[in-house]
Structure 1
Amino acid sequence: MTVYGYIRTSRQRIEGTPGSDPEAQAYQLRQDDVPEANVYRDVGVSGGTGTNSRAGWRALDARLQTGDTLVVVAADRIGRSWLNTVNTIRDLRTRGVRIRSLAPDETTWVSWLESDPDSPEAFIADILTSLMAWTADQERQAASRRTKAGLEKAVAEGKTLGPPRKVNEDQVEEMARLKRAGLSYRTIGRRMVPNVSGDTVMRKLRERQG
């Protein structure tokens, strides 16, 4: 009868960004008295990635036995791909592994997963599990669409993607020359090697002016 914890974040740790810090999940698990040595992690792994493709989950799954308890801060940490998540939860139930969610709004229905298979509670738990997984999947796909649309918009507007590029003094001088020639900030940015955004050109020229 061993208690295990599982942590998953879709991004690496980003300071100040809610939901991206695995340590926040680790703290919640410690507060629930989950032994730190029994906590497994998949950091920077999308919820759409199948559980069998995650190193942390595979290591955890190899240790889970009948009577053990798996604790997560929320059920969508297990996954956000509808079919994979539903099948994973069903597999754990079949093997006699308990699931405990620390999310207040999930406590009741997750506990119903342990009910007699023929009971109304078990039937409702199955429905809610499918609904939860489907909702999480839809949210993941919507976020992906928004990100793609944002990138396409940025490219269409001539913005440079990725980390800010360093601009040296010679480039700033060239920017100033092109600006005096009447070129737009955006056009000047495209003439730089490597390209920079029009906003960067404008900022650099303003800084040059003092």
Structure 2
Amino acid sequence: MTDHVCLHGYRYSVYNRIARLTLLRKRVSHDLVEVDPFSELPVDYMELHPFGRVPVLIHNGFAIYETAAMTRYIDRAFPGDALQPEDPKILARMDQVISVIDNYCYWPMVRQVFSHRIFRPITGEPACRNEIMQGMKSSGLALAALERIALEGHVLNGKSMTLADLHLAPMIDYFTRAEEGQEALSDFPGLSNWWKEISLIPELSESDPDLSALLSG
């Protein structure tokens, strides 16, 4: 039986990119279906994701939502280098990083700093400087927590690739497109060194959503 893998998602979503990055890293052939979560979603999509968010992964009819569950499944279901460590302590750090990213990085780095400094101006939507300032304040605490983990060396070390790296990379990519984000990251040498390495992986370029398409649209 030939595997059929399809990723339903919004190309500008960091979570869609995390899932795609994992598929690319595991060299899984897949189709892409564009879904705009900010428009009225069709009934059949709501059957795939009852909360109406993106992305959704479908593998031979088996549908999964929630990105962290999705990436773990991809790593387990397909051959290639394992992205989840066997050592329980290192695995715990990986899981911890993913949880920190989802709970403390996504909103300030992406929805506040990136969205109001980069995305909204491109799309002609109103931006709020106060949102950027609040996002930068919260981002500093999150970066400090991740810095301690990076310096520990188990994960986010720029050498061994785990799902934690693939979860964080799209967030940092968006965050550092804002000048404030670049400056903030430079205060954390462990994360800065990690980013210098991870930013060079070909899958990150291949999964780039190409914001310039918004200008021509």
TM-score, with length taken from structure 1 = 0.30
In our comparison, the structure showing a higher alpha carbon Rg is 1
Q: Which has the higher contact order (CA 8 A, sep 6+)?
A: 2
